[in-house]
Structure 1
Amino acid sequence: MNKLPYIQPERELHYNLGILLLILGSLAQTSRNKKVLTIDKIQSFYFLVTKPAFLNKVLMLANKRQIAIDDVDYYTVETLSVNVDELFDRDRLLTMIKILSSKKYLSSEYSNSEGFLFDLTDAGRSIASKLESGYFRKVKLFIEQLSSLQSQSPSKLNGYINTVLKQGI
């Protein structure tokens, strides 16, 4: 008898590319069209979007409005035992960025003060706008709340994350 493979959704490439597209589509520019997404911010935002209970703690520390989280999202193994690898696994993120770039979904520009700033192309925005079903609906809500942290520096974001890691969820 063959065993069925167990697929971890959070490790599935297309799922992760979808989340990254949504983050880039919503958070790459401020309301004044200033590009703000560096690789460090993308990594922090990705980490927070995929861990809503953790995101709420960071929002609380930043004195921002928290989100209502379903029990399904709060009481998970990931919440109880936070895997911080995503905060430090730059290779994984760079691989996803390369994939989006190779499909012409990603644009980047260089700033002397901040380094590379990322955004979606029109083709990337078109694809991101189609991600509306299933868990992507929830991800969009999490990203909407995350936009209140858009102006924070990467070091400030990491400070909030480190504080929550020390305190625990």
Structure 2
Amino acid sequence: MNKLPYISVDDTLEINMLILMVILSTLGKNRNSTPILNFEKIQCLFYLIKNPSKINKVLRSNDKEEIFIDSKITYTVESQSVNVDILYSRDKLKVVIKSLAYFGFLDVVSDSSNEIKYLTTSKGDEFLNSIDSSYIRTITTLSKKIKPLASQSAQKSIKSINSLLAGKE
């Protein structure tokens, strides 16, 4: 008997594109409208959004205020999983970034130190705002709540996540 291939919804390109668009749209700029998300920061934030059960532990380890997260999204198999592919595999995120660029939803800028920063284009923001779903609202709410992590260095976030995964948190 042949079994049909199983593709986790979490691994579909379309879902990952939407998650990244929410992150870039919500967290892409600081209060001065300066782009702040480099590739490594995006990896950390993407990992946390996909694993909301880890968010408060990372916030606490960075001396940030904990947030309320609905247990419906923290007590799922995906959220409890220790899959760290998105955190350490640049290839997966590159595919998502290239796809957003292909559709004209991604803007890339270079700052004064020649570091590349990513954010959504106005076309990307329009597209995202046209989608009215509880999933997008949930991801947007989570993104807004982890804003303090977007402003710190990627190295600090990665160190916190690594400590958490090593069981030191």
Same-fold call, TM cutoff 0.5 = yes
What value does the CA root-mean-square deviation take over the aligned residues?
2.0
| Structure 1 unmatched ranges of 5 or more | none
1:17-96 to 2 correspondence within 5 Å? 17-96=17-96
Report the counterpart of residue 117 of structure 2 in structure 1. 117
Once the two structures are superposed, what CA deviation does each residue of 1:10-49 show, in whole Å capped at 9, x if it has no partner? 0111111000100010111001111101011111110011
Q: Cα gap change, 1:81/1:122 in structure 2, threshold over 3 Å: closer, same or farther? A: closer
Once the two structures are superposed, what CA deviation does each residue of 1:41-74 show, in whole Å capped at 9, x if it has no partner? 1111100111111111111112222222233322
2:116 partner SS: strand
Cα displacement (A) at 1:167: 2.0
Cα displacement (A) at 1:134: 2.6
Once the two structures are superposed, what CA deviation does each residue of 1:108-166 show, in whole Å capped at 9, x if it has no partner? 11235262111111101111222331322211111011111121011111111111112
Count, aligned residues: 169
Report the counterpart of residue 15 of structure 2 in structure 1. 15
What letter is aligned with 1:162?
N
Structure 1 distance, partners of 2:76, 2:117, is: 33
Once the two structures are superposed, what CA deviation does each residue of 1:68-115 show, in whole Å capped at 9, x if it has no partner? 223332222234331111111111111111111111111111235262
Structure 1 distance, partners of 2:139, 2:168, is: 22
Counterpart contact for 1:41–1:154, Cα < 8 Å: yes
| Structure 2 unmatched ranges of 5 or more | none
| Identity value in percent | 35
Report the counterpart of residue 140 of structure 2 in structure 1. 140
Counterpart contact for 2:53–2:80, Cα < 8 Å: no
Structure 2 distance, partners of 1:141, 1:168, is: 28
Counterpart contact for 1:60–1:66, Cα < 8 Å: yes
Deviates more, 1:20-29 or 1:142-151: 142-151
What letter is aligned with 1:29?
K
